[in-house]
Structure 1
Amino acid sequence: MSNAASTRADHEIIINAVPQGARVLDVGCGDGVLLKRLKQERNAIVRGMELSQAGVNACVAKGLSVVQGDADLDLALYPDDSFDIVVLSRTIQATRKPEMVLKQMHRIGAKAVVSLPNFGFWQVRLSLLLNGRMPVTQGLPDSWHETENLHLCTLLDFDDLAKQSGFDLESVTRIAAGKASAPSRATSNVLNWLSEEAVFVLKRAWMPTR
């Protein structure tokens, strides 16, 4: 395992959420580190979508099947039920239309695994309260004018959006200071307060109107 991979606590949780041999689409797959591990450790049938050409090139160099695409536009090209699991790691907040992205994930996969930074984390709230400026933390490392994040939210906000998009919550796992806690079956105010980031495992509950 590379040092880069070992620093991603969300990757460990995502890998554990994927059954052996599952068909997986990783949306916003970056340089393919997670995809490669899913292929090696879970024997998954993996596909990726990545916006940047540099990321696509890195994935191809690893022997991975990845296409260049925009989650906001190109998920619509996949047929219904193309995958068992659709993964979105640290990407949902950078999309232009998060609800539409979730609904497309819901359509093409029976389950979704989503990791995201939490704007409801206590250090973020305290920094904003005391300094009166957009916070910079380990989970949100970029200044407001340099970040790729378009739609920051709290865990409670995301939980609501996932339900509106047709998902039930299977589990949510808190991450703080790079360490994961035991998974929970519900998103609570306490979890929202203590999570620097989190990983949601979602399962299809009903088909929303599109």
Structure 2
Amino acid sequence: MNLRKLTKQERDRFDFAVIADWIPRNNRVLDLGCGDGSLLRYLREHKDISGYGVEIDHDSVLGCIRNNVDVIQMNIDHGLSGFEDQSFDYVVISQALQAMLATERILTEMLRVAREAVVSFPNFAYRTNREAIANGRVPVSEDLPYEWYETPNVRFFTIADFEALCDKLGIAILERRAFNNAGQLVTEDPNLDGSLAFYRLGRK
């Protein structure tokens, strides 16, 4: 069956809805690599959350201001030492972990400053990515939209890789959801058939 792929706007709204489903109303949220603050604005409008975005890109910070989102301009790779322990209910990093250098530090810091973390990322082991590599090319897709020479991504990892890292760091996987590029939930072999993965994490 040939499934229609989601447009970028549909994918953004879809991603936001998945994350919002895990965050109760009236919670405090920190969004790392928040871009123009669209996710926080969505959570504020649909879940009455309060919180901050963290972003390094100047133009994106201006986008947060336009979206009336409180934002702190800083480099996440340098850590979250400016935030006290358990100062938020949830910390989110949505499709930005692959662009970070200090992956282990970020994940452990997220669960220092909040009781739960929500992480989403493109699964590099998705079947169309494997097909591209088998054909001798670097994958370019809806979730990995950049050519190799211009990509901001510095980590290319899979669902299996991420779960192994969580185990190494003593991070509990509370819930996982994987979706194909048509936005359908994948339950069988998500490391092969899941284009985008979402995790709700806690401390063991």
> Residues of 1 paired with 2:169 and 2:20: CA distance?
24
Structure 2 residues without counterparts, runs of 5 or longer: 1-6
| Aligned residue in 2 for 1:181 | 185
> Residues of 2 paired with 1:119 and 1:14: CA distance?
20
Q: 1:153 aligns with which of 150, 157, 163?
A: 157
TM-score, structure 1 normalization: 0.88
Identity %: 32
SS in 1 for 2:17: helix
Is residue 204 of structure 1 aligned with residue 203 of structure 2?
Answer: yes
Matched pairs, number: 197
Amino acid at match of 2:202: K
SS in 1 for 2:80: helix
Q: CA deviation at 1:102?
A: 0.5
Residue pairs, 1:131-170, within 5 angstroms: 131-170=135-174
Q: Which deviations, in whole Å up to 9, do the C-alpha atoms of 1:141-176 show, x marking residues without a partner? A: 111111011011000101111232332111111121
SS in 2 for 1:75: coil
> Residues of 2 paired with 1:4 and 1:38: CA distance?
19
| Aligned residue in 2 for 1:172 | 176
Q: Contact between 1:5 and 1:33, CA under 8 Å: does it hold in 2?
A: no
Distance 1:51 1:23, change over 3 A: same
SS in 2 for 1:7: helix
Q: CA deviation at 1:82?
A: 1.0
Residue pairs, 1:1-210, within 5 angstroms: 6-8=10-12, 9-129=14-134, 131-181=135-185, 190-205=189-204
Distance 1:162 1:180, change over 3 A: farther
SS in 2 for 1:76: coil
TM-score, structure 2 normalization: 0.91
> Residues of 2 paired with 1:62 and 1:102: CA distance?
27
Q: Which deviations, in whole Å up to 9, do the C-alpha atoms of 1:72-122 show, x marking residues without a partner? A: 114122111111100000010000111111011011111000010011111
Amino acid at match of 1:195: G
> Residues of 2 paired with 1:84 and 1:165: CA distance?
20
Structure 1 residues without counterparts, runs of 5 or longer: 206-210
Q: Contact between 1:23 and 1:84, CA under 8 Å: does it hold in 2?
A: yes
SS in 2 for 1:153: coil
Q: CA deviation at 1:180?
A: 3.9
> Residues of 2 paired with 1:52 and 1:68: CA distance?
8
Q: Which deviations, in whole Å up to 9, do the C-alpha atoms of 1:22-71 show, x marking residues without a partner? A: 11000011011110011111111121101111111111122211111111
Q: Contact between 1:72 and 1:96, CA under 8 Å: does it hold in 2?
A: yes
> Residues of 2 paired with 1:85 and 1:163: CA distance?
20
Q: Contact between 2:132 and 2:139, CA under 8 Å: does it hold in 1?
A: yes
